[in-house]
């Protein structure tokens, strides 16, 4: 919490610092003349310089003269022109007759302007605090959402410091006795402070947005999936925020980021070529998290590797599934993305399974259907609200092919239900006298003439003796 005594202390300290800096440097408004050079010659020299800058003929410097050429990479802060308050202060000191009074290197007008700056800082601070406590709070209170109320509450400290920095900057830059270099330092310092304050506010805004997105995703995604996805999104968004503010900072100080961008681009290209598979797995992982073809706990089958099991973890590079024989298989996400995946759990874990049974010809088909449906329907684990089908599918060579279908709660019970249903069907059909023939073959061998005698000799050991 920033209170008024702290602000007043900061104002006084800055005023003292400004005074010492001003006393150690040449004021911007003073003209210093050499003892043996009259003012008229100096003005003439100034006119000559102006004429040369405006396109006149340049004269070569005489020998012995020192030529200093400064190339400024940044535009310096121009000397501020006196405003209405400064003009009133100057007229007041002239009318009172104290314009020539110098105390600690500052004129009476400078001291009056310094006091005005301190008072102006306090007034601006009070106005800024009123805007926060009254105006802004009333505005956000009328909005239908609570997002802006929470954001204003969380960034209250940053807004207060933003007002303080603004007050200090405006109060110091209006002082005429400060040097151009010191004003440039003030501008750079306040710019960095502004940037830091807005960066903190942006960081909090990103956190608020990520929390809101996480709440919405949690309603339709698994918690572990949401955590993985939010880590990725948070990392990317925060990197972009840091990069933007870092670029603004470098641009303010005249540092070009072209070379840095070129190095990053070349490095990114080399990295992408060296880690193609990893990048493909990473992108496929993002797509899986967003598209959600399966979730943690789902039973899936990956056709590319002929493996099926329960999903235990969905990462950015691999997906882990646990098979029925308790083996953990880590599958690259790119493999899953390029292969058909069967999800036995989502969107409905109920599963329909089927078998085929051969029934002998010449039997009552309606009675066979009744026996099959009754036998399967009475098994524990078969869904009662789903029909049991006994379909006469096709005519076989020696029997009629019936396809039997029923529903179970989960695919987990598939193997057990096959055993249970097969046993129940065999018992029911056997008890009802239903014939279930199996294929038999009759082999007839025919012999003629000498071949028959030779074959008889071959299979008659007594005749050989």
Tokens of 206: 């990103």
Q: What is the pLDDT of residue 29?
A: 40
- % the chain with pLDDT above 90: 12
* pLDDT for 169: 82
Q: Buried (b) or exposed (e) across 182-206, using 16+ Cβ within 10 A?
A: bbeebbeebbebeeebebebbeebb
pLDDT of residue 82: 65
Is 322 in a helix, a strand, or coil? strand
Separation CA 323–CA 306 (nearest Å): 11
| Regions of the chain with pLDDT less than 70 | 1-84, 86-92, 94, 96-97, 99-100, 103, 105, 147-148, 222, 224-225, 259-260, 439-442, 445-465
- DSSP letter string, 5-62: HHHHHHHHHHHHHHHHHHHHS--TT-----TTS-HHHHHHHHHHHHHHHTTPPPPPPP
Q: Would you state the pLDDT for residue 403?
A: 94
As a whole number of Å, the end-to-end CA separation of the chain is 123
What is this structure's pTM?
A: 0.50
| Element (DSSP H or E) covering residue 407 | strand 399-408
Are 86 and 175 in contact by the 8 Å Cβ rule? The answer is no
Q: In terms of Cα–Cα distance, which of 360, 304, 310, 353 is closest to 332?
A: 304
């Amino acid at each position: 919490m920033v209170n008024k005594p702290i602000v007043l202390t900061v104002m006084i300290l800055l005023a003292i610092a400004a005074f010492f800096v001003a006393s150690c440097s040449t004021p911007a408004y003073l003209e210093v003349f050499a003892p043996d050079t009259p003012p008229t010659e100096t003005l003439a020299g100034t006119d000559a310089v102006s004429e040369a800058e405006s396109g006149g003929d340049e004269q070569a410097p005489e020998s012995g003269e020192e030529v200093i050429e400064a190339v400024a990479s940044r535009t310096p802060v121009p000397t501020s022109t006196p405003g209405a308050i400064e003009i009133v202060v100057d007229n007041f000191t002239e009318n009172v007759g104290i314009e020539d009074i110098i105390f600690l290197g500052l004129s009476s007008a400078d001291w009056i302007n310094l006091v005005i700056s301190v008072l102006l800082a306090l007034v601006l601070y009070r106005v800024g605090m009123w805007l926060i406590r009254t105006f802004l709070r009333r505005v956000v209170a009328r909005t239908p959402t609570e997002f802006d109320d929470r954001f204003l509450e969380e960034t209250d400290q940053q807004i207060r410091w933003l007002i303080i920095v603004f007050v200090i900057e405006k109060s110091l830059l209006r002082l005429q006795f400060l040097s151009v270099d010191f004003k440039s330092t003030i501008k750079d310092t306040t710019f960095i402070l502004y940037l830091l304050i807005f960066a903190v506010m942006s960081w909090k805004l990103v956190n608020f947005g990520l929390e809101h997105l996480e709440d919405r995703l949690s309603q339709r995604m698994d918690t572990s999936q949401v955590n993985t996805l939010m880590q990725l999104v948070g990392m990317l968004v925060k990197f972009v925020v840091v990069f933007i503010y870092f670029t603004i900072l470098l641009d303010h100080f005249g540092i070009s980021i072209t070379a840095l961008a070129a190095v990053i681009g070349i490095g990114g290209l080399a990295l992408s070529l060296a880690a193609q598979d990893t990048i493909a797995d990473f992108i496929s992982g993002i797509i899986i998290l967003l598209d959600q073809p399966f979730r943690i706990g789902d039973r899936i089958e990956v056709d590319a590797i002929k493996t099926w099991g329960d999903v235990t973890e969905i990462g950015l590079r691999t997906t882990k599934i646990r098979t029925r024989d308790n083996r953990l298989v880590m599958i690259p996400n790119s493999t899953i993305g390029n292969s058909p995946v069967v999800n036995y759990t989502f969107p409905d874990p109920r599963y329909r399974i089927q078998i085929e049974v051969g029934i002998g010809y010449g039997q009552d088909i309606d009675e066979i259907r009744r026996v099959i449906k009754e036998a399967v329907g009475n098994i524990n684990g078969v869904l009662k609200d789903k029909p049991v089908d006994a379909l006469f599918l096709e005519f076989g060579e020696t029997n009629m092919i019936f396809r039997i279908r029923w529903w179970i709660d989960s695919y987990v019970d598939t193997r057990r239900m096959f055993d249970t249903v097969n046993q129940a069907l065999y018992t029911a059909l056997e008890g009802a006298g239903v014939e279930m023939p199996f294929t038999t073959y009759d082999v007839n061998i025919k012999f003629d003439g000498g071949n028959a005698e030779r074959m008889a000799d071959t299979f008659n050991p007594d005749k050989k003796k």
